Amino acid sequence: MPGTVLVERGDGVLTITLNRPAQKNAVNHDVAVELGAALDLLDNDPALSVGVLTGAGGTFCAGMDLKAFARGELPVLDGRGFGGLTRAQVHKPLIAAVEGWALGGGFELALACDLIVAAQDASFGFPEVKRGLVASEGGLLRLPRRIPYHVALRVLLTGDPLFAPEAAEHGLLAADVTAAGGALEAAHQLAHHIAANAPLALAAVKDIVRADERAAFERQDPIVARLVASADAHEGARSFAERRPPVWHGR
């Protein structure tokens, strides 16, 4: 049986594919472990220079697998964050190739990559506030650094989607949007262009540009912990399960 994460090498590029298409590539513990292993392969193999992360079946990633979470699975790895990626120190460049939805934790996986390439029909979103939560695995920290502040806050505060053409307009994407189905090819073109450069220089760029991210997570986490323990967070989960509007208490 194929794994939940597939890897394929080619000319210095490692293509990493989330492979749960029937679940819209939602992340469970197995995905986190296998994605973490794929990223270790990328960093530790001197024949590889760049990684490309994508999803099977026309969807990048729908976020956390809520059914698995309800069974007690937590798709977070110590020191590496959600999906084994959002807090990981990956030294080689990583490009997200997005088709369809990159939702919640899926959007955070894309933002954890260094560059994003997307198809015309791609959509990004953080619906967490609709459930009394926030995008705590990099969404709050990275999105306002990637696009204009007021646009990032609109996405984070409303929970409404950001569609690929507007994402490109605001500079979230590293290239023009592609036709549907074309994101992976465009990401490979960009990856091979980057892979022609000096490996140590590429790693140095990443290490310097991302040097302050770990401290930012440390400042954020106590605030998020209080929110997760709140009555509103529990109400958000219950109302979602019961298919009714939430009744917020502000505590």
**What's the pLDDT score for residue 2?**
72
**What's the pLDDT score for residue 52?**
98
73 part of the active site: no
Taking all residues of the chain, what is their mean pLDDT, rounded to a whole number? 95
**What's the pLDDT score for residue 70?**
77
**What's the pLDDT score for residue 237?**
81
Q: Of residues 34, 73, 99, 128, which has the active-site annotation? A: 128
Domain ranges of the chain: 5-200
128 part of the active site: yes
Cα(39)–Cα(16) distance, rounded to whole angstroms?
9
Which contiguous run of DSSP H or E holds residue 14? strand 13-18
Kindly report the CATH number that applies to the domain delimited by 5-200: 3.90.226.10
Q: Of residues 8, 34, 73, 108, which has the active-site annotation? A: 108
Cα(242)–Cα(135) distance, rounded to whole angstroms?
22
Cα(126)–Cα(134) distance, rounded to whole angstroms?
8
Given a cut of 70, the residues of the chain with pLDDT beneath it are 1
**What's the pLDDT score for residue 181?**
96
Cα(157)–Cα(163) distance, rounded to whole angstroms?
16
